[in-house]
Amino acid sequence: MKMNASGNDGDDAGVGVKGVVRDALSLAPVAAATVTVSGRLHTTQTTANGEFWRLLLPGAYVINVSCLLTTP
């Protein structure tokens, strides 16, 4: 997934990326998935609702998401 982070009227406050990770088939939110930004050491986890957010300066980034597969 490629995403751009953009600022608000030149102000760096609140700059970043956010989203929801969903299962490709059921579209259900994926909890506890690991979200990694290429070139950055810090990772983040999705919430119980599949949400994630990451503060980033404006620019182009590659976002990777991974999780363990489980069966109900």
pTM to 2 decimals? 0.74
Within a domain: 25 = yes
Contact call for residues 51 and 20 (beta carbons, < 8 A): yes
Within a domain: 72 = no
The whole domain housing 45 covers: 2-66
Task: Report the CATH number that the domain containing residue 42 is assigned in CATH.
Answer: 2.60.40.1120
Within a domain: 27 = yes
The model's pLDDT over 2-27, given as tens digits with 9 standing for 90+, comes to: 444 444 444 555 689 999 999 999 99
Q: Give the separation between CA 48 and CA 70, rounded to whole angstroms.
A: 15
Higher pLDDT, 43 or 71: 43
Within a domain: 54 = yes
Residue that is written with structure tokens 């950055």 in the block? 40
Is residue 30 predicted with pLDDT exceeding 90?
yes
Within a domain: 8 = yes
Number of separate domains in the chain: 1
